[in-house]
Amino acid sequence: MDTQQNTALTRALAEVPGPLPTSGVIHIAIPHTDRFTIVGNHLAQHPDLSCTAVGLAVRIQSLPQGTEISIKALTARCQEGEKRIAAALRELEAHGYLQRFRHRLPGEKVATRTLFCNQPAALVRLRSQMPSPVPVPEQPQAQPQAHAPQSEAESESGSGVEPEPEPEPAPLPPAPPVPAVLLTVATVASPPPPPFVPLVPPPTAPKPPRPPLPRPGTLTPELDRAATALLSDLRRHAPRFTLSEGDIRQLVPPVATWLERDAHPDTIRRTLIEDLPQPLRHPVKLLKHRLTALLPPPLPGACDLAAPARPRIVVTPFQTCDDCDRAFRSPAPGHCRDCRETREHRGEDVRTAA
């Protein structure tokens, strides 16, 4: 069976007209006579659609009118799962090939209808070229014109010349017919939704640059010696962190930054070698990541830790009234409010009597 197929392909290759390309695919095109679907290159070679979306669009386009193309129906027909089919339908909907809308049925039921257009760009261009309806003003009815009375000779002979008929206005050329399906799509289609943005970037997406390794303000000889000793001592606690001299020289500045920020060497060691991923393939990359991502802030100074000064609250002391011995708040001893009002009234009565 394989030999026959290879022989048939070899014979067909010999009949391909023109020179063959030196590399790449060689097409053997046999015209279809039945059971075929025309697919445009705008869909087959779409730069922003995935291969799953393109294949699903071709499958939908080849189905007869009225076939159900829900996610579950397509999952039963295709080998892809529901998640991949749902993502492909969202891509087609974002680029205008697919449109879903709500349709109210007689009663209170609502159904979801799906429209598929094989050329969304041509549909948008057709909608923009459709003329807007212009109201036609009503023409007044022609009134009969008053004719002059004929002379007796003309009435007797009856040989009067008939007036020439007025030329009728030329009819306007009929507008090109628009398919009913396109009119339905143009009427029902709503503004396109925002483009589909995947939550997970594709593997070919450019990765953000790595942050630079931290560096101390001043790499003193003491910090350099302590950082070198700490990195060289890691292999005693974890043999997988046996570092070369070049790796140690790269990691000395970030470790010195930790020491400059008063981090204890035991704390730095535990942060670097504990809770390791399995398997550990790149020890140096892991150390660089942890030294950069887990860098503690500088310790605050004594002035930063001082409690903020509270506003002073003045408490008014209690006083005892000289007349009624009632307690009241006042900065100085004297009389309460009632006694002061009583004294004022008495003074007014005396002054009035005088």
Q: How far apart are CA 198 and CA 87, in angstroms?
A: 9
Q: How far apart are CA 272 and CA 277, in angstroms?
A: 12
DSSP state of 67: -
Amino acid at site 23: S
pLDDT digits (tens, 9 = 90+) for 73-125: 888 888 888 999 999 999 998 888 888 888 787 877 888 788 888 888 877 77
Q: Is 287 exposed, middle or buried (0-12, 13-18, 19+ CB in 10 A)?
A: buried
Residue 64 token pair: 């007869």
Q: Is 328 helix (H, G, I), strand (E, B) or coil?
A: strand
Whole-number pLDDT of residue 250: 93
Please name which of 48, 40, 52, 45 lies closest in space to residue 94, comparing C-alpha atoms. Answer: 48
Whole-number pLDDT of residue 196: 56
Mark the ranges of the chain whose per-residue pLDDT is less than 70.
1-18, 127-203, 302, 307, 309, 348-354
Residue found by looking up tokens 């659609």 in the block? 49
Residue found by looking up tokens 């869909």 in the block? 43
Q: Is the pTM of the predicted complex or chain greater than 0.85?
A: no
Measured CA to CA in angstroms, residue 20 lies from 8, 11, 28, 344 at distances of: 18, 14, 11, 123
How far apart, in Å, do the first and last CA atoms of the chain sit?
142
Q: Is 77 helix (H, G, I), strand (E, B) or coil?
A: helix
Q: Would you mind telling me the total number of residues written for the chain in this entry?
A: 354
